[in-house]
């Protein structure tokens, strides 16, 4: 039985940040750092997943959790990221696609109503002006959307999209992250007639020139990471973390970046409040020949799809380095990710995943976004998006119960919040520095 003062569970961006700030050992379930942000490489015509690009560069680069672009965040964290390698800056290109009409509308859709036709634009704008906006803590997401955007825009986009995005939860969960759908009547009115400025939390973002995997590896090179250490239990009485390989380590304090729901279960704790829900996501990473109608967007929201996906992201529209080396100049291929949400933990079988990916490829070919698929690589994110019930107290109760036993939850999934990579690194720095203060 090894012994340590403080340990960190998880070598995602938060855990690596905590390890850098504290010097404490980090225990990671996988064999590479980065968590859902980790990159991998897939050669055309192969189902192999490579940790590094082959010498000839002939592979598509994908990310385990789909595209993760670095937006917002503290300027000091941005400087830290740049200290590990150059980054490129981008202005978001994103839209909503209505396949039945082959119609695109720029995102956020409420600021670009003219793309929906004059009649619908006028109706939607009128409903947005008249919509009640008084705060109601008991609202569900569905009710909140109606109260802010009106029936016409909800029926056209918000309702069907959120049905897919939340795997059906939107009628029972609380509204969340309102900044993702900014409400500005001035911009909505302007956008019904003419061009509007970019709006939203991710209107601008950066991405490392050498890939997110390079950022994760360089952070990990400065941290004591032990790989292949999947945590399966936390013994609060003995203060021991137990791993799937049969090993265990003692701790005085534990920094956990594991999803809050998993940490509570591993620790054998219960809360008075009903646990908040989450959704899982199957990410279909696809390398293919580019179709004639392939959009130039960085990502596209789909309120309707026969296969059930809700978003298509285009890695290679952000940077051609996601393509095999021979395709980067001609840009005749495309590296994409497609997200399909599932109810919590309802992971499809391998055969079901393969069938779903087949339907996704077929539908994107019907849209003429892709031609022949050269590689299809699904990944599963068990806890992908976290939600709360209206007026829920579960998160606060769960965090407090763990903290009473010297288990500190940190980061996006650890604290059951939505945030990007930069903020996750920042939270890791803060936790590592605070809990590492005064160490020998």
Q: Residue 143 CB: number of other CB atoms within 10 A?
A: 16
292 and 377 part of one domain: yes
Q: How far apart are CA 440 and CA 433, in angstroms?
A: 13
Question: Of 165, 191, 217, which residue constitutes the final position of a domain?
Answer: 191
Instruction: Look at residue 2 in the predicted model and tell me its pLDDT.
Output: 55
The Cα-based distances of 199 to 110, 260, 403, 409 in angstroms read 11, 31, 38, 32
Residues present in the chain in total = 440
Kind of pairing, strands 25-27 and 39-42? unpaired
Tokens for 111, please give them.
């600021």
DSSP 45: T
Tokens for 103, please give them.
């119609």
164 and 118 part of one domain: yes
126: which residues sit within 8 A by CB, 6+ positions away? 150
Tokens for 28, please give them.
């990671």
Instruction: Look at residue 439 in the predicted model and tell me its pLDDT.
Output: 60
Instruction: Look at residue 179 in the predicted model and tell me its pLDDT.
Output: 53
Tokens for 423, please give them.
């903020």
Whether residue 337 contacts residue 315, with contact meaning beta carbons closer than 8 Å, is answered with yes
Q: How far apart are CA 52 and CA 39, in angstroms?
A: 9
Helices of type H across 66-178: 75-83, 118-130, 141-153, 159-165
Question: Of 142, 168, 191, which residue constitutes the final position of a domain?
Answer: 191
19 and 163 part of one domain: no
Instruction: Look at residue 313 in the predicted model and tell me its pLDDT.
Output: 98
286 and 325 part of one domain: yes
325 and 359 part of one domain: yes
Mapped onto helix, strand or coil, the DSSP state of residue 250 is strand
CATH number, domain of 251, equals 3.50.50.60
Q: How far apart are CA 241 and CA 239, in angstroms?
A: 7
- The position carrying tokens 């598509």 is 60
396, part of any domain: yes
162 and 65 part of one domain: no
Instruction: Look at residue 139 in the predicted model and tell me its pLDDT.
Output: 87
234 and 333 part of one domain: no
264 and 173 part of one domain: no
354 and 374 part of one domain: yes
170 and 40 part of one domain: no
104, part of any domain: no
Q: Of 254, 235, 269, nearest to 397 (Cα)?
A: 269
Q: Of 71, 16, 72, 28, nearest to 429 (Cα)?
A: 16
Q: How far apart are CA 44 and CA 41, in angstroms?
A: 10
Question: Which residues span the domain enclosing 19?
Answer: 2-31+227-273+392-436
Question: Counting beta carbons within 10 angstroms of the beta carbon of residue 365, is it exposed (0 to 12), middle (13 to 18) or buried (19 or more)?
Answer: middle
100, part of any domain: no
216, part of any domain: no
379 and 290 part of one domain: yes
206, part of any domain: no
214, part of any domain: no
Q: What's phi and psi for 378, nearest 5 deg? A: -80, 140
Question: Counting beta carbons within 10 angstroms of the beta carbon of residue 422, is it exposed (0 to 12), middle (13 to 18) or buried (19 or more)?
Answer: buried
Question: Of 138, 172, 191, which residue constitutes the final position of a domain?
Answer: 191
Q: How far apart are CA 71 and CA 81, in angstroms?
A: 12
DSSP 282: E
pLDDT, tens digit only, all 440 positions of the chain: 555 689 999 999 999 999 999 999 999 999 999 999 989 999 999 888 998 899 999 999 999 999 999 998 889 999 999 999 999 999 999 999 999 999 999 999 999 999 999 999 999 999 988 877 766 666 899 999 998 899 999 999 999 999 999 999 999 999 986 656 667 888 888 988 888 888 877 889 999 998 899 999 999 999 999 999 999 999 999 999 999 999 999 999 999 999 999 999 999 999 999 999 999 999 999 999 999 999 999 999 999 999 999 999 999 999 999 999 999 999 899 999 999 999 998 999 999 999 999 999 999 999 999 999 999 999 999 999 999 999 999 999 999 999 999 999 999 999 999 889 999 999 999 999 998 865 65
286 and 378 part of one domain: yes
Instruction: Look at residue 134 in the predicted model and tell me its pLDDT.
Output: 65
Q: Domain total for the chain?
A: 3
239, part of any domain: yes
219, part of any domain: no
What strands, in cross-sheet order, belong to the sheet with 2-3?
2-3, 248-250, 240-243, 231-235
Question: Counting beta carbons within 10 angstroms of the beta carbon of residue 296, is it exposed (0 to 12), middle (13 to 18) or buried (19 or more)?
Answer: exposed
CATH number, domain of 297, equals 3.90.660.20
């Amino acid at each position: 039985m090894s012994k340590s003062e403080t340990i960190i569970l998880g070598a995602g961006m938060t855990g690596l940040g905590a390890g850098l700030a504290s010097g404490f050992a980090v225990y990671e379930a996988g064999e590479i750092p980065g968590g859902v942000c980790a990159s991998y490489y897939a050669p055309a015509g192969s189902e192999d997943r490579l940790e590094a690009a082959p010498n000839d560069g002939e592979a598509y680069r994908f990310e385990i959790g789909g595209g993760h672009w670095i937006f917002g965040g503290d300027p000091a964290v941005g400087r830290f990221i740049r200290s590990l390698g150059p980054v490129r800056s981008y202005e978001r290109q994103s839209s909503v696609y209505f396949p039945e009409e082959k119609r695109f509308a720029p995102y956020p859709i409420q600021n670009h109503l003219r793309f929906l036709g004059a009649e619908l634009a006028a109706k939607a704008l009128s409903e947005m002006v008249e919509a009640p906006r008084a705060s109601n803590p008991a609202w569900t997401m569905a009710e909140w959307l109606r109260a802010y955007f009106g029936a016409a825009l909800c029926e056209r986009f918000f309702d069907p999209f959120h049905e897919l995005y939340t795997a059906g939860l939107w009628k029972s969960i609380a509204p969340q992250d309102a900044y993702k759908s900014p409400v500005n009547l001035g911009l909505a009115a302007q956008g019904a007639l003419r061009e509007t400025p970019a709006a939203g939390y991710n209107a601008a973002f950066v991405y490392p020139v050498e890939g997110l995997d390079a950022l994760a590896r360089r952070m990990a090179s400065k941290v004591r990471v032990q790989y292949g250490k999947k945590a399966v239990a936390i013994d609060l009485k003995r203060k021991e973390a137990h791993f799937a390989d049969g090993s265990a380590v003692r701790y005085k304090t534990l920094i956990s970046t594991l999803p809050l729901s998993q940490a509570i279960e591993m620790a054998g704790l219960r809360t008075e409040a009903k646990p908040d829900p989450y959704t899982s996501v199957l990410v279909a990473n696809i390398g293919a020949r580019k179709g004639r109608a392939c959009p130039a967007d960085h990502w596209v929201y789909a309120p309707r799809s026969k296969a059930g996906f809700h978003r298509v992201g285009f890695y290679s529209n952000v940077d051609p380095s996601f393509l095999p080396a021979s395709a980067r100049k001609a840009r005749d291929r495309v590296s994409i990710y497609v997200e399909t949400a599932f109810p919590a933990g309802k992971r499809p079988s391998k055969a079901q995943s393969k069938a779903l990916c087949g339907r996704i490829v077929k539908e994107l070919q019907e849209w003429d976004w892709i031609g022949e698929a050269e590689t299809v690589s699904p990944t599963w994110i068990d806890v992908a998006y976290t939600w709360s019930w209206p007026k829920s107290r579960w998160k606060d109760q769960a965090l407090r119960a763990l903290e009473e036993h010297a288990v500190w939850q940190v980061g996006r999934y650890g604290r059951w919040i939505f945030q990007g990579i930069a903020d996750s690194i920042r939270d890791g720095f803060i936790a590592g520095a605070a809990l590492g203060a005064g160490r020998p």
